[in-house]
Structure 1
Amino acid sequence: MKTILLLCCLIAYLGYAMSQSPVSLKMDCKQSLSTVDCSFEFKNDDDEDYYLLKRNTPLEGLRSPFVAVSIDGVPLLYKGYLFYCTPPKKHDFVLLEAGESVTATVQINDIFAFASDGTYNIKYNRPLQILSKENMELESASGEIKSARKIEVDASVFVQLENTNLLSRPVNKESEEEGDQVYIESCSSVATYVGGSSSTRKATTKAHKKLCSKYLRARRKVGNNATYRLWFGAYTNKHARKVKSVLKKSRDRIARNSVKYNFRGSECDSDTYAYTCYQCDTVWLCAIYVSDPTLCRTSGTSKEGTLAHEWTHVGADTEDYAYGVTDSQALARNEPDKAVDNAESFEFYYCRA
């Protein structure tokens, strides 16, 4: 009896310990004359040092929809960029020593349009990802961080906004630059190119020509098969309908519509393939994209795959929950609800279906 009691106590203790997050988040938002300023504090409450991933947090600035904003239960559209990046490396993390905290303040009116006065709910909606200092040293040597632990956080604030007509608005993300046009018969659409070499434009046109027919081919392949389960998780009719819908909407977005490919994106860096925004006509393409092979392959990235990835954002409002093969497959196994809304998962499925 005593042994059973001890085992029960041990299980209860382990469950409690597992539920405690070593890193906590506090947030606060307030209105100034022309901005809505939100501050975030990430604190290591543990006695062990941890690395915190900066991506999908305000620690990297306004590069992701790390908060959701609503008024009277109606969500506001995120008007920032959506970045397609390489899997995270050590430099994408910040070290939080035991008891240490790091803060960031951002103006979220740059990524959300507050059109009316009222009470807004601003909720943090991305998990934190952490890695112990010891594991970081082991994994960073291989160049790929695979075992970062996800921590769900519950942080939100209500803020009363007045005179919202005085708030500055998100800047139009569309590219206004003039470019050269190419008619793409397979999609009955016109692609405009800004910047980029002749060879890169030619390769991009070749990749784009594949999209309309291959989105539909990938849609026809949706079913309870190994390829589907690998990228989207356990098969359900509901999830299959979602996958088919994303593929169709992505295809419909580029068919018989004008698109723009801009190779002069000011937000490009060494870790970014491309970026776009919801309801955009433009995809900005970066140096990693340029160096990739043109057509889909069964391992690695490609120009065609990147374009397939980006147009799911524009056509079907997909998210960036995970990057790379390892994290995308883990998302399918553990969080299929997110996998069927993850742009990278669609890229891998599209190229392998």
Structure 2
Amino acid sequence: MLALQVYHVLTMVVFVFAASSNTHNFTLQIRGPTSVTNIENLRITATITNIGDEDLKLLNDPTSPLSTLPGDIFTVVNSAGTAAQFKGIVAKYIPDVAAKIGAFTVLKPHESASVHHDLSDAYDLTATGAGTYTITPRDVFYALNEQDQVSTWRAYGASTSIQISVDGRLVKSRTPPSASSKSLKKRIIHNHCTDIQEWDLGLAGDQANKYTASAMVYLDSLSTPTERWNAWFGSWTFDRQATVRYQMAFLANNNFESYLYDCTCQDKGVYAYVYPQDPGTIYICGAFWGAHKTGTDSRAGTIIHEATHFAAYGDEASDWALGQGACLDLAKNDPDKAIHNADSYEYFMEDDPRRA
């Protein structure tokens, strides 16, 4: 039986004003209690209000306050300036794809949307301890302009943070999903997937195995820079090649057909997500099922992308850039980040369009 959970009813409110070069202006309002006992009560409500005179379209980016997923949406910092450990999800997300399939929130003039966030699902305060925390929301949103093109708008204002005192339990335990079925033929393990989805995941896992095996052969034969390498990882050095090969070796030693795939995610704009500390389990979301079996942003590539995030599989990758265009720019301008970028590994292995 859980201990009595108590939190003070006083509420802190912060408004963040956002403006852009066009007429779509909006405010971001965050609310939370001034203090809580037990991290399960550390809950924030984010409200976005369109104060402009035209409709506003904001994408439900998994790192945005509009997302219902436990992503890295807030910075949570104690009084000593130390950030709480993030233990939530990292996702494959392509803004242009999300826009095309309508995974955004439409706000008419003076209309609002509120999202409740349980920070205990995403942050662990064990190392940073009880005390007062400053909580700041991510203030960059993907939006659609008048031409329905994706752009980024940053919220701004005099203050973007609230402070909440936390004591009691500082971490929430999480129970990973258990397999609801295992196919003897394909060895695929799944949770709440249909027979067709299970079959498609088996095919995707098999293709992911082929992608990683082929990439290892390619890397082992690489002695000078190639068009394919330069496109996704930038200027070539021995150290960068060693880093990429180290990561690829971990991926190639996986059997993606023996992963556990959970099909309970209902977010249509996200391909998939993982908890980095829970290797071998991938949560499949709506955009995955609309992807091709192979090629750019494929189902097989999505599995590889998510596997690069696992802390146990070599050098845990980040999401410095999303989508082919952004990854090409990242390789050109910051190759040291490109060799640690999840989408860069995926596109290198998908090799679409093919490069020598």
Displacement after TM superposition at 1:283 (Å):
1.9
CA distance in 2, matches of 1:49, 1:331: 33
Displacement after TM superposition at 1:148 (Å):
1.8
Pick one of 170, 176, 179 that aligns with 1:177.
179
Aligned CA RMSD, in angstroms, stands at 4.4
Q: Note the residue ranges of structure 2 that are not aligned, 5 or more in a row.
A: 1-18
Aligned to 2:75: 68
Residue 25 (str. 1) matches residue 28 (str. 2): yes
Aligned to 2:309: 313
The list of structure 1 runs, each at least 4 consecutive aligned residues, that deviate by more than 6 angstroms after superposition, is: 256-259, 333-338
Distance 1:199 1:105, change over 3 A: closer
The answer to whether the 8 Å contact 1:62/1:111 transfers is no
**What TM-score results when the alignment is normalised by the length of structure 2?**
0.67
Q: Note the residue ranges of structure 1 that are not aligned, 5 or more in a row.
A: 1-15, 137-146, 185-190
1:237-268 per-residue CA deviation (whole Å, 9 max, x = no partner) reads 6xx95685366236426737998533442115
Aligned to 2:147: 135
Displacement after TM superposition at 1:176 (Å):
2.4
- Once the two structures are overlaid, the 10-residue window that deviates more, 87-96 or 191-200, is 191-200
Displacement after TM superposition at 1:37 (Å):
1.7
Residue 120 (str. 1) matches residue 122 (str. 2): no
CA distance in 2, matches of 1:338, 1:46: 37
Higher helix proportion: 1
Amino acid at match of 2:124: A
Distance 1:247 1:127, change over 3 A: farther
The answer to whether the 8 Å contact 2:71/2:90 transfers is yes
Aligned residues: 313
Pick one of 38, 41, 48 that aligns with 1:42.
48
1:204-260 per-residue CA deviation (whole Å, 9 max, x = no partner) reads 45334335534545656597654445445x6486xx956853662364267379985
Aligned to 1:92: 103
CA distance in 1, matches of 2:290, 2:108: 38
Displacement after TM superposition at 1:97 (Å):
4.0
Pick one of 130, 150, 153 that aligns with 1:151.
153
Amino acid at match of 2:167: N
1:153-212 per-residue CA deviation (whole Å, 9 max, x = no partner) reads 4665353433231x671523x332276498x9xxxxxx7623656854653453343355
Aligned to 1:210: 210
The answer to whether the 8 Å contact 1:129/1:151 transfers is yes
> Residues 196-235 of structure 1: matches in 2 within 5 Å?
199-200=199-200, 202-210=202-210, 212-214=212-214, 216-217=216-217, 226-231=227-232, 235=235
Displacement after TM superposition at 1:288 (Å):
6.1
**What TM-score results when the alignment is normalised by the length of structure 1?**
0.67
Identity %: 20
Residue 111 (str. 1) matches residue 146 (str. 2): no
Distance 1:205 1:45, change over 3 A: closer
